[in-house]
Structure 1
Amino acid sequence: MLAGLLAALGAGMLWGLVFVVPLMLGEYPGIVLAFGRYIAFGVLAVALAWMDRAALARLSRADWIEAGKLALVGNLLYYATLASAIQLAGAPVPTLMIGTLPVVIAICANLTERRAGNAADVVAWRRLALPLVVILAGLVVVQFDSAAHATDAGGQEGARGGLRYVAGLLLAAVAVASWTWYPIRNARWLRARGAGLARPWATAQGLVTLPLALAAAAGFALWEGATASAAAFEWPFGPRPLAFVGLMLLTGLAASWLGTLLWNRASHLLPPAFAGQLIVFETLAALLYAFLWYGRWPGLGEAVGIVLLVAGVLLGVRVFRPAATGS
């Protein structure tokens, strides 16, 4: 339990970085940040693959296909739709929708494990209700309070209506669906294979992400060239090449590879429904980094929401302790 909690905490702290990078690179389109992050992840995975060459060689063709599905949905589709949603609809509402992931994943994971007959990883809904309600309440309080101060990466208020706003909400819904599916599917693969594959599996996902990200970036660049848009991105590195490359390498190594490694470890050690709740650590980390970036303390509503989030996680520990320890 403790090792799983620490791994999930580490993953959340690293994943929180991806929410502050768009603030640091406000002039870069969100979809370009997704390409950059996952190309860097793939390049780093190629360099790191030597450490896990024996484990990678034992992966079957079906395993590599599974890694490709996870990379496409949990990496590229999730971050591209999230970043684009924030640009189209502004930050508050898409961020609120993404913030419900701990609750959505816990509910879906409990349903999945129940249908699969994995009684050891299933808890009664009445026991799960309290931590989920507390976490959801914390997320709502934090996000609505933050929304009063929220601006997009360029410092402008987000879109308030119209087709762009609706499109942003639809993309945020796709992002929620993508990262609901990813941890449940990923945990199922890891738990079926046994211990010791957290790092190789993270590297394998990076290896298959690289060609997918390169192909998507090339396609987007060709499309921009064909449309000859005045606002077209300055390929390949944009207006601030050093900052862009440095931050993409940082997110590729820390948020993507190391974060995935730690999350794989947590997924193997903890019941899926409980692990899903621990994505709340990503929200807490994102808030911490945002407060540091803006140079301010949390408001009263934000502080109350953070306390509720932590309380919900602690309640979840109590609910899932028997399943995690086998007692």
Structure 2
Amino acid sequence: MSNNKVLEGVACGIGAGALWGLVFLAPELVPEFGPLHLTVGRYLFYGVFSVLLIAPLWRRVMPKLSRREWIALGWLAFAGNIFYYVLLSSAVRLGGIAMTSLVIGFLPVAVTIVGSRDQGAVPLRQLAPSLALCVLGALCIGAEALSGATSASIVEQSAGLLCAIGALVSWTCYAVWNSRWLTKLRQVSGHEWNLLTGVMTCAQALLLLPFALAFSDGSHSAAAWTQLAGVSAGVAVLASITGNALWNRMSRLLPLTLVGQMILFETLFALIYGFVWEQRLPTPLETVAFTLVFLSVVSCLGVHRKAQSSLLDHSGGDAVASEGKS
């Protein structure tokens, strides 16, 4: 893992986080519609765009995929897109952007713990300080977010928290499975894999379309439907097409223990967008959280660079020893 690959991977992770953070705003932009409408709208557009982009490559890509890969794509589409976004939208609607960002902020911890079991991964004990900073930052965000909850909203806050935890579990599974599939499936590019995931997600969104229409009360105006279509298309292009492509590229450049830390950028950008939307500055506690999250990523990068340097030094020592024996 060269320094250039690390820098490129981190840059892709920052870009993906900046684009993914936009999805936290979507429920606020179209408050007339529920999570199911947002999910179906976003992933129908994601699927349409994916079909258009993959069509010229279809004959070249299809022979590279077996039934096993298509089953994996189906699970990834459900865990990382459909199920995750229904829960995320519900969490934002019920508990707010900050509380949802808090829970999703624990993604790096979950993914890093799983990734630490991979062969050749940096030991978890070396990542403990970075994970501790991440947890402290998330707790600061949560303390700030939940301090404003009133007794009248405790039921909605609790329901939103459960939805956010469900989204956390769902996306952790996606991040781990997706990274491992990208590692072993070298004959398909990260961009192609993203578009194929979009095709499978579109098929699942079509199955949900009748339910989304059934839950419509018929009171939405043409302008409201147009706004929903615009937000859905925008999120599909920015977050699903571009953001996922950057994430897949990053997943091939960085180990899973470092991939987990990159998810923090989604949390940071989601909070920034939330502050802009609410037209306010971060509170002192939120500023502390920002600092802790930033230090978490920097310390994790430092551990991986140190491990890489040790590996190179060890390899160089072995090479010298071999020359001496010869």
TM-score between both structures, scaled by the size of structure 2: 0.85
**Is 1:27 the equivalent of 2:32?**
yes
Instruction: Tell me how far 1:161 sits from its aligned partner.
Output: 3.2
Count how many residue pairs are aligned between Structure 1 and Structure 2. Answer: 305
Instruction: Tell me how far 1:146 sits from its aligned partner.
Output: 4.1
The question of whether the paired residues in 2 share the 8 Å contact of 1:91 and 1:158 is answered with no
CA deviation profile, 1:136-181 (whole Å, cap 9, x unmatched): 111221333244568xxxxxx796334x555443332221110110
**Is 1:283 the equivalent of 2:283?**
no
Instruction: Tell me how far 1:233 sits from its aligned partner.
Output: 6.0
Structure 2 unmatched runs, 5+: 1-5, 313-326
CA deviation profile, 1:176-207 (whole Å, cap 9, x unmatched): 11011001100000001237611000000000
Residue of structure 2 in register with 1:71 after alignment? 77
**Distance in 1 (alpha carbons) for counterparts of 2:238 and 2:183:** 24
**Distance in 2 (alpha carbons) for counterparts of 1:233 and 1:71:** 30
**Distance in 2 (alpha carbons) for counterparts of 1:297 and 1:161:** 25
Q: Identical aligned pairs, as a percentage?
A: 34
The partner residue of 1:44 within 42, 46, 49 is 49
Residue of structure 2 in register with 1:104 after alignment? 110
Residue of structure 1 in register with 2:315 after alignment? none
**Distance in 1 (alpha carbons) for counterparts of 2:151 and 2:239:** 26
**In 2 relative to 1, CA 91–4 (structure 1 residues): closer, same or farther, beyond 3 Å?**
closer
**Is 1:245 the equivalent of 2:248?**
no
The question of whether the paired residues in 2 share the 8 Å contact of 1:28 and 1:238 is answered with no
Structure 1 unmatched runs, 5+: 151-156, 226-231
**Distance in 2 (alpha carbons) for counterparts of 1:175 and 1:142:** 18
The question of whether the paired residues in 2 share the 8 Å contact of 1:8 and 1:281 is answered with yes
3-state DSSP class of the match of 2:208? helix
Instruction: Tell me how far 1:297 sits from its aligned partner.
Output: 2.1
Map 1:247-326 to 2 at 5 A: 247-321=231-305
Map 1:149-188 to 2 at 5 A: 160-162=153-155, 166-188=158-180
Instruction: Tell me how far 1:56 sits from its aligned partner.
Output: 4.3
In proportion to residue count, which structure has more helix?
A: 2
TM-score between both structures, scaled by the size of structure 1: 0.85
Instruction: Please tell me whether Structure 1 or Structure 2 has the larger radius of gyration of its CA atoms.
Output: 2
The alignment's C-alpha RMSD in Å is 2.5
**Distance in 2 (alpha carbons) for counterparts of 1:125 and 1:83:** 32
Output the amino acid matched with 1:21.
Answer: A
Residue of structure 2 in register with 1:137 after alignment? 136
Decide which moves more: 125-134 or 191-200: 191-200
**In 2 relative to 1, CA 160–91 (structure 1 residues): closer, same or farther, beyond 3 Å?**
farther
CA deviation profile, 1:18-73 (whole Å, cap 9, x unmatched): 01121211222122111111111111111111353323442222111111110011
**Distance in 1 (alpha carbons) for counterparts of 2:45 and 2:110:** 30
Map 1:203-218 to 2 at 5 A: 203-218=195-210
The question of whether the paired residues in 1 share the 8 Å contact of 2:101 and 2:270 is answered with no
The question of whether the paired residues in 1 share the 8 Å contact of 2:36 and 2:212 is answered with no
